[in-house]
Amino acid sequence: MKFAVYFFILFSARVFSNEQLLIDFTEDLLSDLKFDSVARLECPDLKNWSPINCMEFSEEIRETLLEVATPDNFPNTKYRKAYSLEKSVEEETDCSRFVFHVFKRVGLYYPMATTKNFSCLSVFKEIGSEEAQAGDIVLMRGHIGILGREGKLISATSGKRSRWRGSSIRELSLKSFRGKKRYFTWSCPESETSVL
């Protein structure tokens, strides 16, 4: 598999005339292979990781992120803690993978991280609840989601919260989630420490 990927990247260098397109394409390919895997990076690696090209979290990107995260876009997604990498997020996911893919789809790349290690990511800055806006991250013990509008949380839930059928991607009142809540916003690191 590795040989095929390296060959494809080298071959692609001849096909892509624009160097930036190749960099973006390669970063996307590597993020699929490396970061959406069961063997996730540990906290020290996440703290040192920095994206090749970090995009600012503009209002336009924030709005696009909320559109992508809309539960209507995931009508049949099943919740699976041990999800299959061969299945898309539209088929099955857990809360961390859902957030990861929503951010990735709007061009904001980061290594896959569990809820336990999410606060280690260098591309997210912890903020107070009063600063949090729709599109930011809400992290709780064992759960993560995207802050929606009007005090809602968009996330993949196991269904234990209520007895619904259909998709596990729901927009529920943030108040229905108990426990301490921490808020994070996308923030490009001041200095790029490493590139994976």
Domain boundaries, the chain: 1-35, 43-186
Which has the closest alpha carbon to 156: 89, 103, 104? Answer: 89
Q: What is the CATH number of domain 43-186?
A: 3.90.1720.10
Give percent of the chain above pLDDT 90: 49
Cα torsion at 55, 152, 184, 51 (round to 10°)? Answer: -30
Handedness of CA 1, 122, 152, 179 (dihedral sign): positive
Average pLDDT over residues 75-103: 87
Residue 166 has what pLDDT?
Answer: 67
Q: How many Cα atoms occupy the beta-carbon half-sphere of 116 within 13 Å? A: 5
* Strand boundaries in 52-101, DSSP class E: 78-79, 92-93
Q: What is the mean pLDDT of residues 22-41?
A: 47
pLDDT of 173 above 60:
yes
Q: pTM surpassing 0.85?
A: no
3-state secondary structure 149-195: CCCEEEEECCCCCCCCCCCCEEEEEHHHCCCCCEEEEECCCCCCCCC
- Tokens representing 31? 């993020």
